[in-house]
Structure 1
Amino acid sequence: MKFTPLGRLATLATLALTSVLSINSTALGQQFDETELNQNEVIGVARPYGGNKYDLLVIQQIPGKRECWRETGSNPIVVEPLLLEYDFTGICNRATDSNGYSIRLDDQDYGLNYLLRIVERNGELVLVGTDRSDSSKEIVIARTGGMAPGFLKFQLEPGWEFSKRTYGEKVLGHFYFSGDSVEIAQGGQAPPTITANNPNSSVTFGDINRDIYRSEIQQAVALGFISGYKEDNTFRPEAPLTREQLVSMVMEALQTIPNVSMTSSSAKPAQLFSDVDSSRWSAGKIAWAQQNNIVSGYPDNTFRPTQPVTRAELMAVLRRAAEYAQAQKGLAAQLSMKQTPANFSDVSPDFWGYELIGQMSGYCRVASPLNETGNTFAPSQPAQRNYAAAATFRMRECVITQTPSATNSQPQ
């Protein structure tokens, strides 16, 4: 990514390796609540892809705006989505993956424990929640009532409704399929037997059990700004993060910060880069991030959305995101140091990100040694999903704990 390095830090000293920033996961889960929605303004849709496969799409109509979808027929109801691409038009809200929706039952959030899946049974599509640790356990949430070509509407089972996740007083973009055991039983269904919610459980993803960033990954997933792969219930912690994935993750993280407003244009995003068509899933997010000085493109007017992000580039985006968030909270945009900045052995003063990486190492250790050991940063290596999730989580927590007086202080 093309970034302008920060002004030189006055002092760079060796960083003592301290424990990784972490927040009690149980307390984090308890901070989530929900707010009711007008059930006529939100639908769940089975979206076809790859022949006979379907994924889940949730669409919410913003009142007073032109319609987001049309419905025809019954059993099944066929849906015509009128806004298929992700954008910020102020007309529809949309969630397309497990970053955007999860199960809530009896006022408990089960996003870490249950995976939403679409299965075809007895001539219809069924939306079920499957226990991540025991695939034989599932909850039936909605049905299409039949099969037909195209997009099909899910009709919720008795006792289920749509709501939205809240964090403190902030309404997030995350949708809940929210159930009430008493109403489910009154509707004639057996109340679901559900595994107790335990955010510290290792059942989230089998491939992060021994990962050094496991706790921070789980908290990032709980907050909804990154998710795993639903096809095999893995996180793939060592997979590289692409430029468009980074933009999406950072924007979703910003939305979970209290008092941070994600202002947007009422117009469909223009094609700002030659390789990012306006219909691309990430186009609206890239446009917003570019307009708010969080990312930029290349001199040839490309963004290269699928190109892996380096660890240095990750720091540049997180710095700009933190500055944006602090400004939104009414704080000074300049980031204040929480620790003494690091002097990484492989980041020389003539490297473009030298001062930037040093600064972010002092900002709640957002920049930390490769695999949290030694004193190398590996700035030009691809940023893996595990570290990207952890670094973004640290940035978020640092912004939240920042106070007006702290923005004027520096470590001695």
Structure 2
Amino acid sequence: MKLSLPLKLTAIATAVLTTTITFSSLKAAVIGEEPINQSEIVAVAAPFGSNKYSLVVVEQIPGQKQCWSEMGSQPTVVEPLWTTFDFTGHCRRATDANGYSVHLDGQDTSQDYLLDLVEKDGELQLVAMNFKDRSRTVVGKTFGLNQGKFLKVFLNPGWQFTKKTVDSKTVGHVYFSGDTAAIAAAGDTPPTPPPAAPRFSDTASDIYKDEIEQAVALGFIAGFQDKTFRPQDPLTREQLVSMVIGALGTIADLKIQLPAQAVMQPYPDVATSRWSAAKVQWAKDNQIVTGYPDGTFRPEKPVTRAELMAVLKRAAEFVRVERGLSPELATKPASTSFSDISTHWGRDLIAQMSGYCQVASPYNETGNAFNPDQASGRNYAAAATLRVHHCVADPTTQASH
């Protein structure tokens, strides 16, 4: 049926009116920002290619597995722990403009600025470049360079992290939020790196705090999910094996090939199904550990400080042999004279390890007693293993006498 002209006009008018009503009922989304905890987010200069860096923003989900660790200053090196596990539900990561952008004076300026990392004056600078006038604003700095390392970017005065909101609902997008008045007031004042928050709740007063931090950053020992390190807890013999192998695995020129699983029991009391069996087997095969006279290994037995020195000595010798050197360890400075090892089975090796980068040191770093038969705490085990790591990595300790 054909419509007459008046009816056609009426139908068109109705359609236009309906469309107008439909579009007018739609409201533009309201974009805003919301403050966030600055300690739970970090901007990282991530290395790639040949001396190039990309910007990565990582956010820690409270109460979940630790996403990164920090070590040192000028620059602060970031250990990208998020790359070592499935970080879903633990960390949020943004790697490009879809995940982060610039927000100035309460306005979303994501279409106006490009964020880029630029090397200048011996550091990396995070720069926001304006597409319109090509002007550049320095958002943050790394305070130095460390080639091949992930570096923390400290935000300049007037800048902070916020989260994007859409109709008052927080979304995952991160803003580098700037206040031009505060930026102008700061002038050329550089950002001040805040003191690093304690990584663990129970190491602030520990004598080995700094070495624990470095050991954790290297990845050969870790804390617990409750944010404790439990420095005084004894380390078991199988845990020591795992830690030492982990430390050896961080040495660049050393290739360690662990068996996927133990093909046979390395010791009568270490079943092939045990979590440490393959590591114990490898350590035994490479003469880094030995068992007891009765043939057992006693994996769950706390390792004594003397036993710790014996294993670390063999580990250092192993590295030298792998490099085609004699196993003899160079000792400097002079060995420490301990007051309680003269009749101990480990007297000579403890004395030697005290002169090898001071791996063997007095109990709690005071006095002149070594306490060779006392169980080693996690704190000293981490520190002593770190010292071996540094010693084998130092070319001046590699020359034979």
TM-score, structure 2 normalization: 0.56
Question: Does 2:364 align with 1:371?
Answer: yes
* Aligned 8 A contact 1:334 1:407 in 2: no
In 1, the alpha carbon distance for the partners of 2:326 and 2:335 equals 20
In 2, the alpha carbon distance for the partners of 1:31 and 1:407 equals 36
Letter in 2 for 1:205: F
In 1, the alpha carbon distance for the partners of 2:355 and 2:363 equals 16
Distance 1:383 1:266, change over 3 A: closer
Distance 1:393 1:310, change over 3 A: same
In 2, the alpha carbon distance for the partners of 1:109 and 1:394 equals 21
Question: Which of residues 197, 203, 219 is equivalent to 1:224?
Answer: 219
CA RMSD of aligned residues (A): 4.2
Question: Does 2:380 align with 1:387?
Answer: yes
Letter in 2 for 1:250: V
* Aligned 8 A contact 1:237 1:385 in 2: yes
Name the structure 1 match of 2:30: none
Range with greater deviation from structure 2 (297-306 or 286-295): 297-306
Kindly, what percent of the aligned residue pairs are identical? 46
> Deviation at 1:408?
2.5
> Deviation at 1:270?
1.2
Q: Deviations over 1:102-153 (max 9, x none)?
A: 589xx973558999898xxxxxxx5223xxxxxxxxx379xxxxxxxxxxxx
The residue correspondences of 1:63-212 to structure 2 (distance < 5 A) are 109=78, 127-129=89-91, 139=92, 189-191=172-174, 201-212=196-207
Name the structure 1 match of 2:27: none
Question: Does 2:317 align with 1:323?
Answer: yes
In 2, the alpha carbon distance for the partners of 1:209 and 1:285 equals 32
In 2, the alpha carbon distance for the partners of 1:372 and 1:281 equals 33
Letter in 1 for 2:307: E
The residue correspondences of 1:236-315 to structure 2 (distance < 5 A) are 236-265=230-259, 268-315=262-309
With a CA cutoff of 8 Å and minimum separation of 6, indicate the structure with the bigger relative contact order. Answer: 1
> Deviation at 1:334?
0.7
* Aligned 8 A contact 1:247 1:286 in 2: yes
Distance 1:226 1:295, change over 3 A: same
Q: Deviations over 1:132-191 (max 9, x none)?
A: xxxxxxx379xxxxxxxxxxxxxxxx97xxxxxxx9889xxxxxxxxxx9xx99xx8413
Question: Does 2:396 align with 1:396?
Answer: no
Question: Does 2:329 align with 1:346?
Answer: no
In 2, the alpha carbon distance for the partners of 1:299 and 1:110 equals 41
Q: State the aligned residue count.
A: 261
Question: Which of residues 337, 343, 350 is equivalent to 1:357?
Answer: 350
Higher relative helix content: 2
> Deviation at 1:366?
0.1
Distance 1:378 1:270, change over 3 A: same
* Aligned 8 A contact 2:258 2:278 in 1: no
**SS of equivalent to 2:174:** coil
Q: Structure 2: which 5+ residue stretches go unaligned?
A: 1-43, 50-63, 71-75, 100-145, 150-160, 166-170, 177-190
In 1, the alpha carbon distance for the partners of 2:206 and 2:296 equals 35
> Deviation at 1:276?
1.2
Question: Which of residues 325, 330, 341 is equivalent to 1:336?
Answer: 330
Distance 1:318 1:200, change over 3 A: farther
Q: Deviations over 1:194-218 (max 9, x none)?
A: xx9x897242001111111111000
Distance 1:258 1:207, change over 3 A: same
Q: Deviations over 1:51-90 (max 9, x none)?
A: xxxxx9xxxxxxxxxxxxxxxxxxxxxxxxxxxxxxxxxx
In 2, the alpha carbon distance for the partners of 1:199 and 1:399 equals 33
In 2, the alpha carbon distance for the partners of 1:341 and 1:217 equals 24
In 2, the alpha carbon distance for the partners of 1:224 and 1:32 equals 18
In 2, the alpha carbon distance for the partners of 1:320 and 1:306 equals 21
> Deviation at 1:385?
0.5
Q: Deviations over 1:198-250 (max 9, x none)?
A: 897242001111111111000000000000011x1100011000001000000
Distance 1:103 1:213, change over 3 A: closer
> Deviation at 1:299?
3.0
> Deviation at 1:316?
0.2
> Deviation at 1:312?
0.3
Letter in 1 for 2:173: A
Name the structure 2 match of 1:408: 400
In 2, the alpha carbon distance for the partners of 1:31 and 1:331 equals 38
* Aligned 8 A contact 1:323 1:334 in 2: yes
In 1, the alpha carbon distance for the partners of 2:258 and 2:83 equals 32
**SS of equivalent to 1:395:** helix
Distance 1:117 1:372, change over 3 A: farther
**SS of equivalent to 2:90:** strand
In 2, the alpha carbon distance for the partners of 1:297 and 1:108 equals 39
Letter in 2 for 1:226: I
* Aligned 8 A contact 1:310 1:380 in 2: yes
* Aligned 8 A contact 1:205 1:234 in 2: yes
